[in-house]
Every structure is written in C-alpha cells, then in structure tokens.
Amino acid sequence: MDYNESNIKNGIKLHTIKTEKFKTNLIAVMLTTKLDKENVTKNALIPAVLRRGTASLNTLEEINKSLEEMYGASLDCGLDKTGDNQVLKFYIESVNDEFLPQNGENMLKKSLESIFELVFNPYLEDNCFKKEYVEQEKENLKQIIEGKIDNKAKYALDRCIEEMYKNEPFGLYKYGYVEDLNNIDEKNLYEYYIELINKCKIDIFVSGLLDNQVEEMIKNNQNINKLKERNPEFIMPEIRSKIAEKENTVQESMEVTQGKLVIGLDLDIDNEDLRYDAMIYNSILGGSANSKLFQNVREKASLAYTASSSYYRFKNNIFINCGIEIGNYDKALEIIKQQIEDMKKGDFTEEEVENAKQGIVAAIKSIDDEQDTEIMYFFGQELSKNKLDIDKYMDRICKVNKKNVVDIANKVSVNTVYFLKN
C-alpha cells in the first residue's frame, strides 16, 4: 500500500491509496464544514437531494441505469459528525480496469466523472433544486430524525452528548431538527449548497490499482476546474484539557424494557501524544471483551446486558454505555464508578495492558483489509494535527506502559450520568 496526498487547489486535497489487495477502485469525496445550528439540517439534506439527479442524469432511475452500465458500480452517500464538524460523504465503487474485457474503457476516469458530476453539478430546475426532490427528501429526513428514538442505546448516547455540550456545536444532532425543515425550500437550499461548495474543505480519496494519471485526470475534470480556491471553513480538532466541575445527573422516562445508562467522562489532557495512552486506558476500562466493565458489571455481577466504553479522541471524552435492568441502576452505577477508581489506583495488571495493546495493534493491522476503512483512517489523520502512518501508529501504541495508563486514569472525571428508564 502506497499513500500520497497533493493539493489540487487551496482547500481541495487529493489522497491516493495505491493497493493491489482489491479488484475494485473506491473513490470518496468528503465535504467538511463547521457544525452550527443554522445549517446542520441543510447539511443533512444535501447529500440525499444530490443523490436524486445530476445535470446529465436527471433522475435516480437514470443514475442507477448508468451504474449498471458501469459493470454494476455502486454509489452511496452519508453524513458524519467529526469533532465540531459535519462531514458530507459521497462514494463510488467500480471494477478496476484490469479485471474488465479489453475494450478500451477507462472505468476509473468514468467513475471520477460520475461522482464529481453528482457532487458538483446537480440537476436544477429554474436555477434551483427540483422542488419535488427537496420535498420528498425533507419527508425522508423527518422520518430519520423522528426515528432516532427507535434505537434506544444510540438515543441515550446522543442525549448524554447533548447534555454535556449544551449550546456547543458537538451537542447538535447530526441529522438536524424537524422544526428547521419547514423553512427549507428548493431555492434557499440550493443557495446554501453553493455557499457550502465554495467554502468547505474538500478531500478526494482514490483507492485501488492506480497509475500516475489520477491527479491529471482530476485536475482536468471540468467540475473540479470550476471549483474556487478557498481557505476552508472547518474546525481543526484540538485536544483541550477538560475537568468536570461537577457531576451532572440526567434521567428521562420512555417506554423501554431495558434501562440505558450512559456516563460521559472528561479527560484532563492537552497533549496529542497522550491519546495513545488514552486508547489503552479505554480498552482496559470497557473497550474489549476482557475489559473491567464487561467482566465486573456484566459477567460477575450480572447487572448489565451490555457494558462497554468508547473513546472520542477529537473531543477528549470517553463514553460508558450499559444496558441494564431498570432496578439495577444504583448498583450498576456504583460498580462502574468503582472500576474507574480502581484504575486510578493501578488496580490492573501488566498482562491487561499487553492484551489491550495487542487488540489495538490487531485492529490497526486490519485497517487495510477494507478500502472504506482505510479511507476513513487517512481522513481521520487529515483532521489530526500530528499525522502518523500505520507503522508509526502501531509503534506508538506498543510503547504505552502501565504507568502511562495510571497517569491517564488519574486525569479522568465524571461529567454526566444519563439514564433512560421506563
């Protein structure tokens, strides 16, 4: 695998991943912009509207027919919240030319043209988006927003984040808000889309059996040519020291058969290099099947159906997630907090540290097993101040020792305890 990056224009970067592991090429276009309440719902709506039609392929049916003619290529779009940014994602996957009949087709070039057309040259009517498409996608988005309560575990995590980050960008729901939809129409959504395209950070990823013509193909593409240079408006994630001044408790009632307990932890670290120590800490606490939470809360005490934790490095937080019997709340919370305190005292073994390191290294080694995982890794590096290649990443993990983990444990404080009960 050979990774390279280059600037197409100011604010528009190309990332190439040359690999012989796959028979397909995967192209991704990432539009990164600041999270804010005013535009969060519009950003969520735009990928769905763009997916409906392009200037040359006006309908979804035409787009799908074109993909079929490209030997069954696939097209997808999505949305992420990364730090204080919203990321609009577009993908196209197609068979590499080496595995096609020798008929002179350049599938990579055709795929690049297709995805750039989708993202940068949408179908318009009367100089704005097609009204029917916008109204239909507004209804679809409304269902997504209203349906967030269907996944109770995810809902509880989102609510805990919302409570911890009130009036801050990271507290916003990535799909936006139903009340915003009434004020969005085909005209103002298109006006905002033009503003977004001119200001956002644009990253183009191309993965597969690539030759040296990729950059030239992209620079010569008419949809890329018409893009303006920019000083992109996005938030470079920055590790900031956090100490919870007080522990907040939030309880909500809903018709649930299982209680959802989420505990948001703050990390008092301001050094980017300490994130590797934090990863090992999180793995031992709740990030693996051998973790303290899994073993003590779920297995020994039988208080939880699920017990795990996740490290959000871009926000310096760890979130503990448990599905419990509602009547077990107090006991489960007590045992969870005991695990946090035990780790501060160093009540874990060198073997647990080594196991955590091995688990994370194994996960890093598998990054290049799937093209989309590899792309997301390098995109995460693009949004990091200190970039590491995969070998150095593994080396840094391997250097973490028990003292490092104890130091991290003593920088952890409970910010918010959120409980969703019946």
CA gap 179, 145 in Å, rounded: 11
Alpha carbon distance, N-terminus to C-terminus of the chain: 51
pLDDT at 104: 64
Please check whether residues 114 and 154 belong to one and the same domain: yes
CA gap 416, 405 in Å, rounded: 22
What CATH number corresponds to the domain at position 273? 3.30.830.10
Residue 235 lies in a domain: no
pTM over 0.85? The answer is yes
Residue 62 lies in a domain: yes
pLDDT at 196: 98
124: which 2 tokens?
Answer: 């318009």
Which of 225, 240, 264 delimits the end of a domain? Answer: 225
236 φ/ψ angles, rounded to the nearest 5 degrees = -70, 115
Residue 392 lies in a domain: yes
CA gap 208, 289 in Å, rounded: 34
pLDDT at 299: 82
297: closest CA among 272, 319, 278, 325? Answer: 325
Please check whether residues 49 and 16 belong to one and the same domain: yes
CA gap 199, 222 in Å, rounded: 19
Residue 237 lies in a domain: no
Please check whether residues 327 and 394 belong to one and the same domain: yes
Residue 238 lies in a domain: no
pLDDT at 103: 66
Please check whether residues 138 and 95 belong to one and the same domain: yes
Which of 225, 257, 281 delimits the end of a domain? Answer: 225
Q: Are strands 248-253 and 317-324 parallel, antiparallel or unpaired?
A: unpaired
Please check whether residues 103 and 177 belong to one and the same domain: yes
178: closest CA among 143, 137, 134? Answer: 143
Q: Mean pLDDT of successive 10-residue segments in the chain (422 residues)?
A: 93 96 96 97 98 97 96 95 97 92 82 98 97 98 96 96 95 97 98 98 96 93 96 89 87 92 96 93 94 89 88 95 93 95 96 96 94 95 86 95 97 97 89
Please check whether residues 137 and 262 belong to one and the same domain: no
Please check whether residues 199 and 256 belong to one and the same domain: no
Residue 74 lies in a domain: yes
| Domain of 285, in residue numbers | 248-421
Contact 55, 122 (CB under 8 A): yes
The domain tally of the chain equals 2
Please check whether residues 340 and 400 belong to one and the same domain: yes
Please check whether residues 276 and 181 belong to one and the same domain: no
- What is the rounded (10 degree) CA torsion for 225, 227, 229, 232? -140
Please check whether residues 313 and 373 belong to one and the same domain: yes
Residue 243 lies in a domain: no
Name residues whose C-beta falls within 8 Å of residue 222's C-beta, 6 or more positions apart in sequence. Answer: none
Please check whether residues 220 and 254 belong to one and the same domain: no
Please check whether residues 11 and 152 belong to one and the same domain: yes
